[in-house]
């Protein structure tokens, strides 16, 4: 039989575990929502790509400092930058998730 102090310590330990699990679930949900938002943004930009790439060759004065913005591949540049950002977000999410799993394994 445990005394009162041991019972109280066990209750506090279990309460801390429940709080940690809630925090992990909240972070995982937030990461999943952020990833879905990035994918939706990438898809939206891909659908807008035809409108971004249509540029007239005779626009008057060319922008001498920015070759990519004066050329008709502006949309491709935007999509590639957004895809790179999405890749970084997914990589960070996977690293964070792996660290959480490692922490959970060491706790058990």
Predicted local distance difference test score (pLDDT) of residue 19: 92
Residues of the chain under the 50 pLDDT cut: 56, 58, 60, 68
Predicted local distance difference test score (pLDDT) of residue 20: 86
3 state DSSP class of 8: helix
CA distance 8 to 16: 12
CA distance 95 to 7: 37
Predicted local distance difference test score (pLDDT) of residue 12: 92
Predicted local distance difference test score (pLDDT) of residue 71: 58
CA distance 14 to 11: 5
When the pLDDT of each residue in the chain is averaged and rounded to a whole number, the result is 76
pTM above 0.85, yes or no: no
Q: Could you tell me what percent of the chain has a pLDDT over 90?
A: 7
Write out the two tokens for 28.
């995982």
Predicted local distance difference test score (pLDDT) of residue 27: 83
Predicted local distance difference test score (pLDDT) of residue 14: 92
Write out the two tokens for 38.
């990035």
Predicted local distance difference test score (pLDDT) of residue 18: 92
């Amino acid at each position: 039989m445990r005394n009162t102090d041991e019972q109280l310590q066990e209750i506090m330990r279990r309460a801390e575990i429940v709080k940690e699990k809630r925090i992990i679930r909240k972070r995982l949900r937030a990461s999943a929502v952020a990833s879905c938002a990035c994918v939706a943004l990438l898809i939206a930009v891909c659908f807008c790509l035809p409108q971004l790439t249509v540029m007239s060759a005779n626009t008057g004065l060319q922008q001498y400092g920015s070759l990519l913005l004066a050329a008709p591949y502006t949309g491709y540049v935007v999509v590639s930058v957004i895809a790179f950002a999405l890749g970084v977000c997914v990589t960070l999410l996977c690293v964070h998730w792996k660290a959480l799993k490692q922490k959970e394994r060491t706790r058990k």
